[in-house]
Amino acid sequence: MTQLLMIFTKKRIILLSAILATICLSSLLVYSTKAYEVRIDDKYIGVVKNQSTMTDILQDITTRAESRYGTQILVSGCISYKEVYLPGEKRITDAALCNQVESDIVLTSKAYAINVDGKDFAFLKDKLSAEGVLDKIKAPYIKNEEDSTNIGLLENVSIIQKDISPNELKVLK
């Protein structure tokens, strides 16, 4: 009878241990969720719930920059995601993420440089604008349409496409 009681007690202990383990694992799963650690050029930015959050914020930043500068804006740098499991309160808020990304991200724009003797003189958002500047420089020296093909510049002048910071763009007035 004593052996029967010990077997019955061992079964209870095993059952209680299994129940406690299940409760612990369940609470761990409830309080810990899958998230993504975000890095820009290996610099830690924060932890987000999903990658689309970061994509949406980048899209919003580039859209605002494109409307401000009037040209296509590109995001420079390598954005990487690492899958992590963290408690929900350790994730960064969308507003904080947006501020962090805006301060750490490098935006670039395709521009056309007027290059004079190997030195960039001005950056314009399109090639037509750059050609227009050169035409305005030549305009006072053109007396009739036939002269326009004979007029040139003494310096070596070219128009070169480059990726630059949008702040360097010039706007024609």
Model confidence pLDDT, tens digit, residues 110-146? 889 989 988 988 888 888 888 888 888 888 877 766 6
Above pLDDT 70, what percent of the chain? Answer: 83
Q: Quick one: how many helices (H) and strands (E) in the chain? A: 4, 8
Check whether 28 has a pLDDT greater than 80: no
Check whether 1 has a pLDDT greater than 60: no
Domain range summary for the chain, segments of one domain joined by +: 32-104, 110-170
Residue-wise burial string across 49-77, b where 16 or more C-beta atoms lie within 10 A, e elsewhere: eeeebbeebbeebbeebeeebeeebebee
pLDDT for the residue 69: 84
* Rounded distance between C-alpha atoms, residue 82 and residue 37, angstroms: 5
